[in-house]
Structure 1
Amino acid sequence: MGLGDQQANMFSYNFVRGMLLLFNVLLWFSGLLIILTGIWMQTDFKYYLKISDGYTIYVPYLLLVVGGILVFAASLACSCIVRVDPTMLIVYGGFLIAAMFSLILLSIYIYDYKDHVIAGLPVGIEKEVKHYNGLGSISNANTTLIDYVQNKLGCCGGKNHLDWPKDSLPSSCCWRDDAAKNCTKTASGSMHEGGCMPKLVTLINTNLSSIGVMLSVLALFPLFAMVFSYSLASASRRMDYQSIS
C-alpha cells in the first residue's frame, strides 16, 4: 500500500472518529433535554394535565429514565471512542439501535397520551366543578386544580362560566385575584366568561405534539452515531490487519 493510500485511510479514520464524537456529544445533550422535559412535565405543566381524567403520573418519569440512560451511556462511550475499542464500539452500536427505537416508540406513546388526556378533559373538569369547595392547597387537594387552571388561562368552567352552579362562581373566575370567593355579583365585564376546554386543548395539543416531534428528531442522533460507531470499529480492525500484514 502506498503512502497516499495510508494517508487517505488515516484521514477517513480520523474523520469517522470525529463524527462519532460529535454525535455522541449531541446524544448526551439529547438525554439532558429529555430529562429537562420530564422535569417540566412534572412541575409547571403538571396541573394542566392533572385536571384531565386521562392523566397518568408515569409519562414524566419515563422521560426522566430514558434521558438519564442516554446521558449515562453517552458519557461512558467517550472512553471507547477515544481509545477506539472495536468490541466496545460494536456493543455501543447495538445500544444506539435500541435507543433509536426507544425514542421512536416514546414519541408514538406521547402522541397517544396526548389524545387520551384531551379526551379526558370534559370528565375531569366536570368532576372539579362538582366537588369544588375552594379549600386546601394545590399540593394536597384536587379541589384547587380548577382554580389554578382558571387563574393561569383566564377562563371559567369547561365550555363557559355557565358550567358553574348558579350563585357559586369561584373567585378564580373573576379578573381580580383579591375578589371574594363568590364573584357572582361582579359585573359581567370583570369575569372570565370563556371556558377552559378550548384553551386547555390547544395548550396540551401544542406542547405534547412538540415533545413528540422533538423525540422523533432526536432519534436521528443515535441512528447516525450507530453508523459511525460500526464504521469506526470496521476501520480500526482493517487498519490493525494492514499493519500486521
Structure 2
Amino acid sequence: MGEEELQPSVMFSFYFIRGMLLLFNLLLWLVGLLIILTGIWLHTDFQNYLRISEGYSIYVPYILLVVGGVLVFVASLACSCIVKIDPTMLVIYGGFLIAAMFTLILLSIYIYAYKDNVIAGLPDGIETEVKNYNAYQKSDTRGINATLIDFIQNSLECCGGQNHLDWAKNSLPNSCCWNEGATGNYCSANQTGLMHEVGCIPKLVRLINTNLTSIGVMLSVLALFPLFAMVFAYSLASATRRIGYQSIV
C-alpha cells in the first residue's frame, strides 16, 4: 500500500529529472555553438584589431572552435543515453560535464590573460607598422597586413599610436585624414580639422578590453550549464538504479 502510494511521486521525480537533463543538454549544445561562433568572429571580423599587437596569437580562435565543437558533438551523442536511460553512459557523461565545466573556467582565465598580452603588445605592434609602412606598401608578401595600420586608422578614426606625431613629418597616410584619397597618397598635418587627432592605442585598448572581457565573462557564466547538467545526469543515473528502470529505445 505504502509502496503503491509512493510510486507516482517517485516516477514523477524520475521523469522530471530526465526532462531537466534533456533541457540542459540542449542548452549545452547551444553553448558549444555560441563558442564556435565566437571563435569564427575572432578569426574574421575582429582579427585585424588583434593582429596589429605583438601579443596576438593565431591559436586562440582555434581553441574556441575546438572546445565548442567538442561540446556540440558530445551533447548530440548524449541525447541517446538520456532517452534510453543508460546509467553507465550517464555516469560517463557526467564525468565529461565536470571536465567541460573546468575547461570553460580555465578558458575564461586564459582569455583574460590573452587580453592583457594583446593590450601590452599594442605600442610595439603599431610602432612596427608605422616604421615599415612604406616597405609594406611596396611589397605584396604581407597580403592583408600591407594595409593593417590603414584599416585600424580608418575604422577607428585615429592616427598613429598616441597621436599623429608618431608618423614622420609630411608622411601621414591618407587613412589619418577625413578626406582620405582626395589628393595623393599622403595627407598633411597642417590640414586642421581634417586629420584624426586621437591616437589608435587608447581606442584599441578600449575596444579589445571590452570585447575580450565580455568573452571571458561569457565563458565563466556558460560554465554553469555543464555544472547543472552534471547534477541532473548523476541524479538520473542514481534514480534509474534505485527504481530498477529498464532502458528503452
What TM-score, normalized by structure 1, do the two folds share? 0.95
Matched residue type, 2:226: P
1:201 aligns with 2:205: yes
Preserved CA contact (<8 Å) 1:136 1:144: no
The 1:51/1:230 distance shift into structure 2, 3 A limit, reads: same
CA distance in 2, matches of 1:95, 1:35: 19
Is residue 216 of structure 1 aligned with residue 217 of structure 2? Answer: no
Q: Give the conservation status (yes or no) of the 8 Å contact 1:52–1:121.
A: yes
Contact 1:128-1:142 at 8 Å conserved across structures: no
8 Å CA contact retained: 2:87, 2:237:
yes
Report how far residue 22 of structure 1 moved.
0.6
- Consecutive aligned runs of 4 or more in structure 1 exceeding 2 Å deviation: 1-4, 134-139, 176-180
SS of aligned partner of 1:35: helix
1:185 deviates by 6.2
Match of 2:214, SS state, is: helix
Partners of 2:25 and 2:141 in 1: CA distance = 41
**3-state secondary structure, aligned to 2:186:** coil
Counterpart for residue 92 of structure 2: 91
- The equivalences for 1:29-68 within 5 A come to 29-68=30-69
> C-alpha deviations, 1:120-170, integer Å up to 9, x for none?
000000000000023567971533110010000000000001110000000
Superposition deviation, residue 186 in structure 1: 6.1
Q: Is residue 81 of structure 1 aligned with residue 82 of structure 2?
A: yes
**Does structure 2 retain, via aligned residues, the 8 Å contact 1:90–1:230?**
yes
Unaligned runs of 5+ in 2: none
Q: Deviations for 1:75-96, whole angstroms, at most 9, x for unmatched residues? A: 0000100110000000000000
Aligned to 1:172: 175
Partner of 2:13: 12
RMSD, matched Cα: 1.7
Count of aligned pairs between the two proteins: 242
Post-superposition offset of 1:191: 1.2
SS in 2 for 1:29: helix
Structure 1: runs of 5+ lacking an equivalent: none
**Partner residue of 2:240?**
236
CA contact (8 A) 2:172 2:189 kept: no
1:2 and 1:91 mapped to 2: Cα distance? 31
Which of 43-52 and 133-142 deviates more? 133-142
Separation in 1, partners of 2:131, 2:14: 67
Q: Is the 8 A contact 2:189 2:195 kept in 1?
A: no
Contact between 1:23 and 1:225, CA under 8 Å: does it hold in 2? yes
Shift of 1:2: 2.6
Identify the residue that residue 161 of structure 1 maps to in structure 2: 164
